[in-house]
Structure 1
């Protein structure tokens, strides 16, 4: 992933937008990572992966409930 300073990204904004169409671009400010700029397509794919993962987690939880594989919340917290 290409990493740039905020000043460099600002100076060459058009070129950086083109870069972000090919791969995410990380922008840092004050020597700390601040943001990642990515294409709409990459963002939509990431959202779809998150949605699929959440759907999987809910389905797994429903199956656990149906089979009685549950843990009492208070007991779980006390065990921690």
Structure 2
């Protein structure tokens, strides 16, 4: 993944957009990675994966509730 400073990204915004179409680009400010610029296609795929994972988590939790495979919250906190 390519990294640009915020100033370089500002000066070369058109190039940033072109590069982000090929792969995500990290933008750093004050020597810290701050944001990632990515193509709309990559963003939509990431959002779809997150949604699929959330659906899986909810389905798994529903199965646990239906089968009675639950843990008492107080007991769980105490075990930590």
Q: Partner of 1:64 in structure 2?
A: 64
Describe the SS at the equivalent of 2:69.
coil
Structure 2 unaligned runs (5+)?
Answer: none
Report the TM-score, using the length of structure 1 for normalisation: 0.97
Q: Which runs of 4+ in 1 moved over 2 A?
A: none
| Distance (Å, rounded) in 2 between the aligned partners of 1:47 and 1:31 | 28
Structure 1 unaligned runs (5+)?
Answer: none
Report the TM-score, using the length of structure 2 for normalisation: 0.97
Q: Deviations over 1:5-29 (max 9, x none)?
A: 1111111100110100111000000
Kindly tell me the number of residue pairs found equivalent between the two proteins. 80
